[in-house]
């Protein structure tokens, strides 16, 4: 069965600034949504995507930070909860499918621990550092109504908003980075 990609919602869509509701673990539509989200993420060269980025106000994310190795093995996290961040603070440029054409310096802890359910309703915990740790924090921010702009410090936010307007005027599409 082929799954269609979904349309990526772009900032400043108000849905990106709302806190998402928990998923019902018995919801039979979640596997299809997760597959569509993964397909959309891959099509747009992303390493993570959150349900609000495709217009769905549910606490569901899909991440795959190992694509460079030529394989696709997405992790689907239902109702993920950031239980701990630790390690040093690291500032790196982040892109976002919902804010195409820009990269924004964001400071995050280097390690994230997340508790979540899989599509079968089993609870798991994942610990990620590097790109995975950053991606988990970024996507959970989306579930809490927070975009790159809200995650950036004030100076970076002002610059990012100006750069974003320029990128949109140039026709930036999801997956485009600076």
Residue the block writes with tokens 């569509």: 36
Which pairing describes strands 75-94 and 123-129: parallel, antiparallel, or unpaired?
A: unpaired
Which of these is catalytic: 21, 139, 150, 165?
139
Residue 84 is a catalytic residue:
no
Six-digit token string for 166: 């320029």
| Active-site amino acid positions | 139
């Amino acid at each position: 069965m082929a799954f269609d990609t979904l349309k990526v919602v772009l900032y400043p869509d108000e849905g990106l600034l709302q806190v998402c509701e928990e998923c019902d673990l018995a919801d039979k539509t979640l596997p299809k949504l997760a597959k569509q989200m993964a397909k959309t993420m891959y099509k747009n060269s992303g390493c993570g995507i959150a349900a609000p980025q495709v217009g769905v106000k549910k606490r569901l994310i899909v991440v795959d930070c190992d694509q460079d190795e030529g394989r696709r093995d997405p992790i689907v996290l239902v109702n993920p909860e950031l239980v701990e961040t630790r390690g040093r603070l690291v500032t790196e440029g982040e892109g976002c499918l919902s804010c195409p054409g820009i990269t924004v310096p964001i400071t995050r802890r280097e390690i994230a621990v997340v508790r979540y359910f899989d599509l079968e309703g089993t609870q798991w915990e994942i610990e990620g550092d590097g790109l995975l740790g950053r991606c988990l924090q970024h996507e959970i921010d989306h579930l809490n109504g927070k975009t790159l702009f809200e995650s950036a410090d004030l100076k970076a936010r002002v610059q990012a908003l100006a750069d974003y307007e320029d990128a949109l005027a140039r026709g930036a599409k999801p997956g485009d980075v600076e």
